[in-house]
Amino acid sequence: MKQQTLRDCWAKEKGAINAWCSIPSAVTAEMMSMNDFDSITIDMQHGLVDYQAALNMLQVISGSGKTPMVRVPWNEPGIIMKSLDAGALGIICPMINTPEDAIDFVGATRYAPEGHRSSGPTRALMVHGANYHDEANDKIISLAMIETVEALENVEKIAATEGLTGIYIGPSDLSISMGFKPGLDRVEPEMINAINKIYDACKNNNIKVGIHCLSPSYLKEKLSNGYDLATLASDVRIYAEGLSNKIKEARS
Question: What pLDDT does 64 receive?
Answer: 97
Task: Please tell me the distance from the alpha carbon of residue 204 to that of residue 139, in angstroms, as a whole number.
Answer: 22
Q: Among residues 208, 247, 216, which one has the least CA distance to residue 233? A: 216
Under 8 Å between Cβ of 230 and 171: no
- pLDDT tier at 160 (50, 70, 90 boundaries)? very high
Total-model pTM: 0.98
What one-letter code names the amino acid at 224? S
Question: What pLDDT does 195 receive?
Answer: 98
User: Hey, is 155 helix, strand or coil?
Assistant: helix
Task: Please tell me the distance from the alpha carbon of residue 152 to that of residue 80, in angstroms, as a whole number.
Answer: 23
Residue 126, CB-side half-sphere exposure with 13 Å CA sphere: 8
pLDDT tens, position by position, 44-66: 999 999 999 999 999 999 999 99
Average pLDDT over all residues of the chain: 98
Question: What pLDDT does 96 receive?
Answer: 98
Active-site amino acid positions? 46
pLDDT tens, position by position, 82-116: 999 999 999 999 999 999 999 999 999 999 999 99
At the top level of CATH, the class of 5-251 is: alpha beta
Question: What pLDDT does 217 receive?
Answer: 98
